[in-house]
């Protein structure tokens, strides 16, 4: 259970700080999607028989009408619809991507398409005690009502499904597994509604075929579905709800107009991009919205959802007058390892005064539409283990040798390190002078990534020892090195400019690994490993000496493990791997 330390209060606070409106919208949307999925599966039973549909609906209603679940479901309905209206009000820039626009239009139209069905069934039960089930609903759509109502229901099914699928796609597209799972998910996304609609059709045909005086007496008599007066009463309530919902949309549009007027009166501000470009915008726009409105290229991989941090800007000059970062913005900035008040997310910052800044990511690197190029290279959040390796004393060595000799030795060192990283399953990523960043976990699990990094550290020690023997006649003192290893969620993608792009990882764990490598000097050891990597690799807490250290840029101290001789790591990893096998 070493790797399963209970979540600390700091971790819980960090998690809570990461919850914003988008996260609430996502969770409420998932609950509604689960409901739609369950309903579709029930519809699909119509392909077997009407009785199968009737059996299925018992399970469906037993679950969704179980009081705690029902409370959760209706809360999710209200919250999700409310957040949809809020998004309509809040969004200043309507030059959206087709998918975003489609999602908004479908989302707003779902209540219009479904109110009559949902309220009709719900009110019949609540007000008059009539359980409206498949036979009654199918009779209404296939026998009693005009055909356009059936088409309306099909439109509602498709709207709800497509809206949910787009939401899931937007959420999952930056997850590592998504590229692999996408074909299967797409097949399910097409198959399920097709089966559901076919099931409804088959059920409807059965009702039509069985339609007779006796069948109607058993299934759609007044005591089953209510009298004409009761229907009128429910219809009136449905109409009022529809008018109320449309009124809400009109209110939101009016509020947008009033806000635009107010902002125009409130004045305009200048946004200077630090490259000579300045735009004049009304107060209240986010910096990213201003960039989109005035066609200034601006990196924004997640589309302004405060998830990717690629829209980051550095404020030039005084930033004390800027609005404080929201909880979500502060969380994202903290996650990428910056507590510098001059770094802000352009998609969250709404300046009230003139502002000068420059963009930290070039828009050519990560385009504002977020769709150009391969999605895995644009920017993806994932867990990686970062390892920094640095050669000690290369500056001193350069002072005493010919440049050619120094380059030769540094190259041999980096070759030995790279070979160890590759042999362990990692990826040499960046060479900075005589140091290197290596990444582990691009294709393997967290645990395996941590073990690979520890094995690589041991192999580096072995390779460097071999190199020292080989160069013994040439070196006054053997080559020494320092290694820092830390793991965590990072953003991986292509960084650079036009033809000079490199694939790399950004984020707090990478910075921490670099600091841990630095710390090997102070701790007089070869390797410093974060306790997170030690625990994830499955090494016992007693395996390595523990230290509490302060990392620059982090408020809380961090537990690390120091390793005097990197070669000892090989046996430790082999032991835990063997014990697990």
What DSSP assignment string belongs to 146-200? -HHHHHHHHHHHHHHHHHHHHHHHHHHTTSTTHHHHHHHHHHHHHHHHHHHHHHH
Of positions 42, 103, 136, 300, contacts ligand FES by CB under 6 A:
300
DSSP label at residue 140: I
Based on CB atoms, which residue is closest to ligand FES, 163 or 312? 312
Closest CA to 405 of 465, 466, 471: 471
CA atoms within 13 A on the CB side of 243: 6
Number of other CB atoms surrounding residue 364 within 10 Å:
15
Find the shortest distance in angstroms from Cβ 514 to ligand FES: 23
User: What is the CA angle 185-190-193, rounded to 5?
Assistant: 115
User: Which stretch, 29-37, 114-122, 296-304, 420-428, contacts ligand FES (CB under 6 A)?
Assistant: 296-304
Assess 507 for contact with ligand FES (CB under 6 A): no
Assess 307 for contact with ligand FES (CB under 6 A): yes
Binding residues for ligand FES, how many (CB under 6 A)?
Answer: 13
Strands 500-506 and 481-497: antiparallel
Find the shortest distance in angstroms from Cβ 333 to ligand FES: 10
User: Which stretch, 213-221, 302-310, 499-507, 541-549, contacts ligand FES (CB under 6 A)?
Assistant: 302-310
Assess 306 for contact with ligand FES (CB under 6 A): yes
Find the shortest distance in angstroms from Cβ 288 to ligand FES: 6
Assess 302 for contact with ligand FES (CB under 6 A): yes
Strands in 312-315's sheet, in edge-to-edge order, are 278-282, 268-272, 355-359, 312-315, 343-345
Of positions 310, 365, 418, 562, contacts ligand FES by CB under 6 A:
310
Which string of x and - marks every residue 317-346 that binds ligand FES (by CB under 6 A)?
A: ----------------------------x-
Q: Look-up: residue for tokens 């469906």? A: 60
Assess 304 for contact with ligand FES (CB under 6 A): yes
Closest CA to 441 of 458, 429, 459: 429
Find the shortest distance in angstroms from Cβ 366 to ligand FES: 9
Assess 287 for contact with ligand FES (CB under 6 A): no
Assess 311 for contact with ligand FES (CB under 6 A): yes
Find the shortest distance in angstroms from Cβ 304 to ligand FES: 5
Length of the chain, in residues: 581
Cβ atoms of 191 and 44 within 8 Å: the answer is no
Assess 308 for contact with ligand FES (CB under 6 A): yes
Assess 301 for contact with ligand FES (CB under 6 A): yes
327 vs 321: CA distance, rounded Å: 18
365 vs 372: CA distance, rounded Å: 10
Based on CB atoms, which residue is closest to ligand FES, 308 or 414? 308
DSSP label at residue 93: -
Find the shortest distance in angstroms from Cβ 172 to ligand FES: 16
Q: Could you give the dihedral angle defined by the CA atoms of residues 178, 181, 182 and 186, in that order, rounded to the nearest 10 degrees?
A: -140
Assess 347 for contact with ligand FES (CB under 6 A): yes
Find the shortest distance in angstroms from Cβ 377 to ligand FES: 16
Which residue's C-beta sits nearest to ligand FES?
347
Q: Which parts of this chain interact with ligand FES (CB under 6 A)?
A: 300-302, 304-311, 345, 347
């Amino acid at each position: 259970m070493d790797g399963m330390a209970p979540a600390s209060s700091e971790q819980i606070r960090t998690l809570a700080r990461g919850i914003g409106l988008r996260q609430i919208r996502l969770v409420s949307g998932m609950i509604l999607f689960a409901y739609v999925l369950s309903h579709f599966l029930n519809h699909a039973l119509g392909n077997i028989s009407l009785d199968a549909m009737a059996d299925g609906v018992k399970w469906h209603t037993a679950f969704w009408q179980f009081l705690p679940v029902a409370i959760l479901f209706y809360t999710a309905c209200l919250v999700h619809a409310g957040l949809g209206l809020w998004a309509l009000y809040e969004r200043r820039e309507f030059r959206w991507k087709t998918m975003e626009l489609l999602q908004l239009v479908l989302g707003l139209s779902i209540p219009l398409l479904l109110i009559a069905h949902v309220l009709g069934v719900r009110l019949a039960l609540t007000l008059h005690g009539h359980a409206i089930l498949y036979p009654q609903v199918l009779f209404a759509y296939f026998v009693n009502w005009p055909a356009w109502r059936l088409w309306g229901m099909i439109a509602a099914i498709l709207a709800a499904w497509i809206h949910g699928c787009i939401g899931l796609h937007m959420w999952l597209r930056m997850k590592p597994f998504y590229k692999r799972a996408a074909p299967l998910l797409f097949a399910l996304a097409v198959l399920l509604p097709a089966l559901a609609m076919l099931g409804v059709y088959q059920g409807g045909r059965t009702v039509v075929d069985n339609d007779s005086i006796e069948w109607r007496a058993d299934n759609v008599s007044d005591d089953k579905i209510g009298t004409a007066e009761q229907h009128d009463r429910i219809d009136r309530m449905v109409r009022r709800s529809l008018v109320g919902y449309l009124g809400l949309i009109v209110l939101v549009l009016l509020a947008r107009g009033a806000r635009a007027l107010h902002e125009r009166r409130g004045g305009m501000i200048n946004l200077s991009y630090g490259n000579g470009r300045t735009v004049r915008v009304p107060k209240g726009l986010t910096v990213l919205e201003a960039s989109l409105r005035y066609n200034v290229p601006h990196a924004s991989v997640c589309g302004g959802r405060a998830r990717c941090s690629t829209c980051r800007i550095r404020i030039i000059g005084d930033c004390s007058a800027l609005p404080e970062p929201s909880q979500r913005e502060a969380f994202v900035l903290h996650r990428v390892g910056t507590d510098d008040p001059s770094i802000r997310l352009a998609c969250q910052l709404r300046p009230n005064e003139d502002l000068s800044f420059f963009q930290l990511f070039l828009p050519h690197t990560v385009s504002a539409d977020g769709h150009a190029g391969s999605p895995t290279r644009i920017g993806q959040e994932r867990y990686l283990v970062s390892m920094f390796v640095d050669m000690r004393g290369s500056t001193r060595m350069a002072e005493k040798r010919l440049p050619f000799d120094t380059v030769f030795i540094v190259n041999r060192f980096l070759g030995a390190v790279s070979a160890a990283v590759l042999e362990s399953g990692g990826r040499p990523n960046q060479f900075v002078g005589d140091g290197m960043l290596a990444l582990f976990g691009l294709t393997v699990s967290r645990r395996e990534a941590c073990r690979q990094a520890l094995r690589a550290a041991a192999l580096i020690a072995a390779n460097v020892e071999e190199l020292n023997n080989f160069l013994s006649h040439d070196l006054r003192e053997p080559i020494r090195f320092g290694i820092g290893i830390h793991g965590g969620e990072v953003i991986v993608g292509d960084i650079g400019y036009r033809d000079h792009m490199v694939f790399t990882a950004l984020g707090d764990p990478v910075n921490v690994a670099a600091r841990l490598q630095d710390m090997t000097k102070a701790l007089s050891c070869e390797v410093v490993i974060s306790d997170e990597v030690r625990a994830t690799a499955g090494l016992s807490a007693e395996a390595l000496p523990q230290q509490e250290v302060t990392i620059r840029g982090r408020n809380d101290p961090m537990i690390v493990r120091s390793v005097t001789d990197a070669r000892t790591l090989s046996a430790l990893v082999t032991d835990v791997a063997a014990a697990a096998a």
